[in-house]
């Protein structure tokens, strides 16, 4: 088993949280992983991307060549377009359709959606609506991970201990909201 992922979004959207959850769930399964440092603006609103490789075999490099990513997981729709060149011909895009308009010339939302709709293997997610339904708009990144999880060989429950470790200091309600979020995403990704 080998999966090459590009994680994309903007600073403050939880790309590091997604990476932490995948890496720790991979360790639980006895898988190897390598992660390139997050590239881009670490500040809120700047473009961010990370390479993450997961495999049952040893991994030599943490960087994914263009055309070799199995999955592009994006928490921001415009950032999806920025990293399409990494996607393999049969790779999947899992992206939020909720824009984070951090630049003055951000494209029209409908135009952006038309481009995304043309992608052959995609799951377009209204992460903001799902997050509101589970009780917190701050769970959009966890929802997106839940949507991608079936394509990566994970169950929603694989992430529960790591959600607890991340959020227990914020209280049981926050932990449960994030568990609900990953399950809601997983249900969508399993359809």
Stronger pLDDT, 61 or 122, i.e. the higher one: 122
| Number of CB atoms found within 10 A of residue 55's CB | 15
Q: What is the pLDDT of residue 9?
A: 86
Q: What is the pLDDT of residue 177?
A: 97
Average pLDDT over residues 104-131: 96
pLDDT confidence band for 148 (50 / 70 / 90): very high
In tens, the pLDDT along 156-171 reads 999 999 999 999 999 9
Identify the domain containing residue 172 by its residue range.
Answer: 2-189
- Give me the number of domains the chain comprises: 1
Q: What is the CATH number of the domain that holds 76?
A: 3.40.920.10
Percent of the chain with pLDDT over 70: 95
3-state secondary structure of 41: coil
- Round to whole Å and give the CA distance between 93 and 125: 11
In tens, the pLDDT along 17-74 reads 999 999 999 999 999 989 887 655 555 567 778 898 999 999 988 899 999 999 999 9
Q: What is the pLDDT of residue 149?
A: 98
Largest distance between two CA atoms of the chain? 45
């Amino acid at each position: 088993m080998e999966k090459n992922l590009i994680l994309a979004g903007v600073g403050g959207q939880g790309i590091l949280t997604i990476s932490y959850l995948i890496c720790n769930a991979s360790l639980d399964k006895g898988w190897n992983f390598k992660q390139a440092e997050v590239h881009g603006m670490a500040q809120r609103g700047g473009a961010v991307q990370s390479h993450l490789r997961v495999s049952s075999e040893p991994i030599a490099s943490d960087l994914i060549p263009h055309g070799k990513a199995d999955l592009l997981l994006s928490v921001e729709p415009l950032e999806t377009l920025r990293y399409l060149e990494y996607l393999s011909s049969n790779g999947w895009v899992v992206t939020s359709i909720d824009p984070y308009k951090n630049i003055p010339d951000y494209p029209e939302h409908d135009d952006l959606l038309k481009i995304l709709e043309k992608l052959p293997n995609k799951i377009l997610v209204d992460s903001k609506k799902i997050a509101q339904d589970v009780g917190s708009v701050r769970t959009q990144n966890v929802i997106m991970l839940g949507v991608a999880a079936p394509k990566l060989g994970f169950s929603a429950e694989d992430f529960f201990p790591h959600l607890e470790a991340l959020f227990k200091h914020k209280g049981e309600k926050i932990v449960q909201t994030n568990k609900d979020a990953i399950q809601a995403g997983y249900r969508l990704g399993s359809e």
